[in-house]
Amino acid sequence: MYPMPMLQVDHVSRNYNIAGSPEKFCVFENVSLKVDEGEFVTVIGHSGCGKSTLLNIIAGIDKSDTGCVLLRGKAVQGPGIDRMVVFQNFALMPWLTVYQNVRLSVEAAFPDWTEKQLDGHTRRYLEMVSLEGAENKRPAALSGGMRQRCGLARAFAAKPPVMLLDEPFAQIDALTRGVIQDELIRMWNETRVTIFMVTHDVDEAILLSDRIILMSPGPAAAIARTVDIPIERPRSRRSIIEDQRYYALRNDIIRFLENRQEEKTA
């Protein structure tokens, strides 16, 4: 028997009502995919294809019109600590300090831990994202990069079976983005948590992913193709640009997306 996937999206569709009309707008339809335990899978597609909507359905924040999402074989019924989300807009509690934001998820995940365990675990994950010294600052006093570091620490510290990343580096400058990508790789290598990420960035997807799922343009988007990343780990931004397979993958994905967009608008 094949092992059960950590995450399974089974024939999921999402429609929205059109104001003043009996018709519905179909974002995507009949989407099915599987993500194995410890796998890093990224979804890429044009704006409007429903990438973030799909992630929200997996997170339990939104509901599908057809199909279901299974986590370890059990249907997802709503949000849960077993699926931590890192949003592009950081989504930190503005009235809490960096330490308190991270500790909040630790307390939710490990309610039976002692004060010493909670404190030590929280500080360990702050150190992993280089936020030691900023523990007592509130989000308003942080740069975008520091806020997202806090978001990553909060998510990883809960030790969820699945991490959901919704374009987590979209609002961060290019230089800082590269540093935090390296930190994400390091944390994933250490924890091997299952990650499902949405991004527009092809280079980012190749650097981070085991597989890339390509969505067709919306409306009525669908999974058009899956690309395996054969570049060995560990990877770094410097090492992949010296690998000829990187350029072949990048050109293939960009060409595919451009061709599908042209077909949609023709």
How far apart CA 42 and CA 149 sit, in angstroms, is: 20
Residue 161 has a pLDDT of 96
Tens of pLDDT along 57-111?
A: 999 999 999 999 999 999 999 999 999 999 988 789 999 999 999 999 999 999 9
Residue 22 has a pLDDT of 77
How far apart CA 260 and CA 238 sit, in angstroms, is: 30
Q: Which long-range contacts link 260-263 to residues 24+ away (Cβ below 8 Å)?
A: 260/214, 260/216, 260/217, 260/224, 261/46, 261/217
pLDDT at 266 over 70: no
Residue 2 has a pLDDT of 59
Tens of pLDDT along 16-44?
A: 988 777 788 999 999 999 999 999 999 99
Tens of pLDDT along 112-155?
A: 999 999 999 999 999 999 999 999 999 999 999 999 999 999 99
Q: Classify the C-alpha dihedral 208-214-215-216 as positive or negative.
A: positive
pLDDT at 253 over 60: yes
Residue 11 has a pLDDT of 97
66 to each of 13, 20, 263, how far by Cα in Å? Answer: 5, 23, 27
Q: Considering the chain, what percentage of its residues have pLDDT values greater than 70?
A: 97
Mean pLDDT for the stretch of residues 236-263: 89
Residue 145 has, within 13 A of its CA and on its CB side, a CA count of 15
Q: What domains are defined for the chain? A: 1-76+210-266 (3.40.50)
Surface-to-core class of residue 137, CB atoms within 10 Å of its CB (0-12 exposed, 13-18 middle, 19+ buried): middle
Residue 69: which residues within 8 A CB-CB, separation 6 or more? Answer: 7, 8, 9, 10, 12, 57, 58, 60, 75, 76
Residue 265 has a pLDDT of 62
Label residue 237 by pLDDT band (50, 70, 90).
Answer: confident
Tell me the average pLDDT of the chain.
93
What stretches of the chain show up as alpha helix (H) in DSSP?
51-59, 98-109, 115-128, 144-157, 174-191, 202-208, 237-240, 244-265
Residue 264 has a pLDDT of 65
Q: Considering the chain, what percentage of its residues have pLDDT values greater than 90?
A: 80
Residue 238 has a pLDDT of 86
The pTM assigned to this predicted structure is: 0.94
Mean pLDDT for the stretch of residues 254-258: 92
pLDDT at 190 over 70: yes
Q: Single out the residue of 148, 5, 141, 145 nearest to residue 70, CA to CA.
A: 5
Contact indicator for 54, 28 with CB cutoff of 8 Å: yes
Tens of pLDDT along 148-186?
A: 999 999 999 999 999 999 999 988 988 888 889 989 999
pLDDT at 1 over 60: no
Residue 128 has a pLDDT of 92
Mean pLDDT for the stretch of residues 220-238: 93
